[in-house]
Amino acid sequence: MTLFNEQEQELISTTIAEAEKLTSGEIRIAIDKKCEGDALDMATSYFDKLGMDKTSEHNGVLIYLAYEDHKFAVIGDRGINKVVPPDFWETTQVAMKAHFAGGKLVEGLIAGISLVGEKLAIFFPPNGGDINELPNDIIYMDKHKLNT
């Protein structure tokens, strides 16, 4: 069984697709049941293992959530980190955490995706030959045993 029902998964995927229409950036969601250690460290590990560092403009963003441990992280590739304000990821996380604290995981993810898309649109507007380089579906990491 997955964390989100089919309708919720579709809503999240659609939100990613809509956000990506505004930018050449790529957004992915990775879900774990548990996170041993630091969420940022786990997100960084998954970022590389999912090939998110391979986008043409190095403008991929990973939103990582370990739902049972109530941990999450938002990270971006080096192309993004060169141009966004220093507090970019923190402000995105604050918005998400407000929803998560009320048990609204879907709403929190949608808020994060939307904020990331809006900010990426400023720094990475869509270009003429833009293609969707990464899938928009949620990846459940416990089902995709990656070597960590």
- CA 99/CA 94 separation, integer angstroms: 9
In a domain, residue 146? The reply is: no
132 part of a folded domain: yes
Domain containing 130 equals 6-140
> Which amino acid is located at 127 in the chain?
N
- pLDDT at residue number 131: 67
Does residue 145 fall inside a structural domain?
no
Confidence (pLDDT) at 1: 43
Is residue 139 classed as helix, strand or coil in its secondary structure?
Answer: strand
Instruction: Give every residue of the chain whose pLDDT is below 70, as ranges.
Output: 1-2, 129-133, 135, 143-148
pLDDT in tens, 48-77: 999 898 888 899 999 999 999 999 999 999
Helical residues (DSSP H) of the chain, grouped into ranges: 6-21, 39-49, 78-81, 88-101, 105-123
The confidence score (pLDDT) of residue 13 equals 94
CA distance 48 to 79: 14
Based on the structure, what is the number of domains in the chain?
Answer: 1
Structural domain includes residue 49: yes
Is 32 domain-assigned?
yes
Tell me what pLDDT residue 146 has. Answer: 44
